[in-house]
Every structure is written in structure tokens, then in C-alpha cells.
Amino acid sequence: MVTTGLIQQSNSGNNAENVQRLENNIRDVAAKGAQLIVLQELHNSLYFCQTEETDVFDLAETIPGPSTRRFGQLAKELGVVIVTSLFEKRTPGLYHNTAVVLEKDGTIAGKYRKMHIPDDPAYYEKFYFTPGDMGFEPIDTSVGRLGVLVCWDQWYPEAARLMAMRGADLLIYPTAIGWESTDTPEEQKRQKDAWTISQRGHAVANGLPVVSVNRVGYEPDPSKVTGGIQFWGNSFVAGPQGEKLVEAPTNLESNLIVEIDLKRSESVRRIWPFFRDRRIDAYAGLTKRFLDE
């Protein structure tokens, strides 16, 4: 069993305050027994991709850097593994959306650069982030092999499958997703259901637990072109048959604790042997953009 803490937080424009609240929440779930703690996407700041502003690049930091030092020291003090999500400055003009895993001794266990980068109204991530170049490699830690992916990656079964094929014990998705103000209630439900279903589907198809941590609360569009984003929370953990083990509310900050049985994947894969029945001789087309007749 891995006792896992999920921190679903709303953020303000005060980054120092956001980070201090994160630290307080990390201490809270660690005190409740968490061994693995997962934070939401780009957790230090507001979700800045609603606009395209060159000054925003000043928020980026190196890895190692200030955030890995602070959260690394906290991981060491508390004896926990922390999954962070940072705006990485690799070199001038080259930036990534990067998840960094900190081991319980405070060292960097590994990192993952977000591979799939969206470019939609209110989600102008291609302006800021270069697509990842590290592939889909699980990160070895004291609590297991973590298949860390980030937000938009959650819509791609290929990413989840490759993490599973490389021996991930669970899939982890730091996330920032919500509704734009013009979405109707019916559209809002369709979007949130699709988001949940897709990740539960990854759990089922790969026989692995899935941890998804989303932010919550309203963040205005600085340009006022849109009505801003209402992040829908609903952070959750699904077991290897897609069953929900825990779920946060849509509109409240939440610290969740859940026990994840990593050994159960073996039992599930024995009764649902999807890996055995894969037709790897027939999948060459997956490496094409599209199959024209």
C-alpha cells in the first residue's frame, strides 16, 4: 500500500502565498500518513496561459532551482515523495512544462517534460512551452515507479500505454483544466465527464491506478477577451479497474488521503490480460499522423 496525498488548491496572483499554502497542505497530508504527495499543474502561480505575454517567461526557473530546493528540503524533513509541476527555464528562449519528482531524501528522483502541448482559447500553452524531449519514462522512487504525465497528456492513450509498457506502477496527472465562462451547463457536464472517463479508461486499459490532481477556483482572463476559467477540481484516484477510490468536490479546496494497493494490478491483469492479447503485429499505423485510404 502507498498512502497518497492529493492537494487540490486555488491560487492567487501572490506566488509566495501560493507556495506557503502548498507547504502547509503538504505538512497536513504528511501528518496524516501520506508517503506520496501529488500537486496540481503549475502550482506556484495562477494559470498564466490564458494570454500570450513575454513578461510571463520571468516566472520560469531552472531545475535544479528555487522550487526544487524548497520542496526538496520539505520532502527530506517529512520523509515523503513529492510530485511537483514547474515552469522550467532550460536556457534563454527554451522553456518546458515540467514535472519534477523529489525523493524522500530531498534529491531529484527524476523529471518529465510535458509532451502534448495544447493551443486553444484560454490555453495558449504553445506560446510558452516547447514539447518534451524525454519520452515516456517512469521515475523510480522509494514508493514505486511513477508514470508521471501532465494535463493535456491525459487525452492520449499512447502516453499512458507507453508508461505502462515501461513498468510504471501507477499513472499520475498533475492538471489544470476548467470551464470557460460561455460553456453551458450541459457542455460543462460533457467536458468534465469526458475528462474523468478518459483517465479511468487509462486505468482499465493498463490495469494501473491513476492519480489526477486538478486545481480549483476561478481565475480571470487578464486580457478580458474571455470570461476566465472556472477550474473544476474533482481531483480523484481510480483503481486498476477504473473504480474511483477517492474524489474531491468541484468547488472546494481539498486535501485528500487514499491508500493505493500497487500489488492489485497483478491480480487485475491476470483476469483482464489486455497486454497478452495486444496485436502488436497490426499497430504500425499508430506511428502515422493519419491513415489516408
The tens digit of pLDDT for each residue in 14-58 reads 999 999 999 999 999 999 999 999 999 999 999 999 999 999 999
Rounded average pLDDT over 161-182: 96
Confidence of residue 224 (pLDDT cuts 50, 70, 90): confident
> Which residue in the list 49, 151, 192, 219 is annotated as catalytic?
151
Q: Is residue 283 part of a domain?
A: no
Provide the number of structural domains found in the chain.
1
Q: Is residue 287 part of a domain?
A: no
Cell digits for 15? Answer: 506566488
pLDDT, mean over the chain: 96
Assess contact for 207 and 269: CB atoms under 8 A: yes
Rounded average pLDDT over 226-230: 92
Q: Is residue 290 part of a domain?
A: no
User: Is the model's pLDDT at 293 over the cut of 70?
Assistant: no
Within a 10 A sphere around the Cβ of 216, how many other Cβ atoms? 23
Assess contact for 211 and 170: CB atoms under 8 A: yes
User: Is the model's pLDDT at 206 over the cut of 80?
Assistant: yes
Q: 155: domain range?
A: 2-272
CATH number for the domain that contains residue 170: 3.60.110.10
Q: Is residue 238 part of a domain?
A: yes
Confidence of residue 246 (pLDDT cuts 50, 70, 90): very high
Per DSSP bridges, beta strands 170-175 and 144-148 are parallel
Q: Percentage of residues in the chain with pLDDT exceeding 90?
A: 95
Residue 154: the pLDDT is: 97
243 by DSSP, 3-state: which? coil
224 given a catalytic annotation: no
Which one, of 189, 171, 248, 182, lies nearest residue 216 by Cα?
Answer: 248
Q: Is residue 279 part of a domain?
A: no
Question: Which of 146-167 are b and which e, b meaning 16 or more Cβ less than 10 Å from the residue's Cβ?
Answer: bbbbbbbbbebeebbbbbbeee
Confidence of residue 280 (pLDDT cuts 50, 70, 90): very high
The tens digit of pLDDT for each residue in 80-131 reads 999 999 999 999 999 999 999 999 999 999 999 999 999 988 999 999 999 9
Whole-model pTM? Answer: 0.96
> Which residue in the list 89, 104, 111, 114 is annotated as catalytic?
114
Q: Is residue 180 part of a domain?
A: yes
Task: Determine the Cα–Cα distance for residues 243 and 141; give it in Å rounded to an integer.
Answer: 25
Q: Is residue 288 part of a domain?
A: no
User: Is the model's pLDDT at 210 over the cut of 90?
Assistant: yes
Q: Is residue 66 part of a domain?
A: yes
User: Is the model's pLDDT at 170 over the cut of 80?
Assistant: yes
Assess contact for 19 and 61: CB atoms under 8 A: no
Residue 279: the pLDDT is: 96
Q: Which residue has the cell 494570454?
A: 51
151 given a catalytic annotation: yes
End-to-end CA distance of the chain: 49
* Amino acid sitting at position 162: L
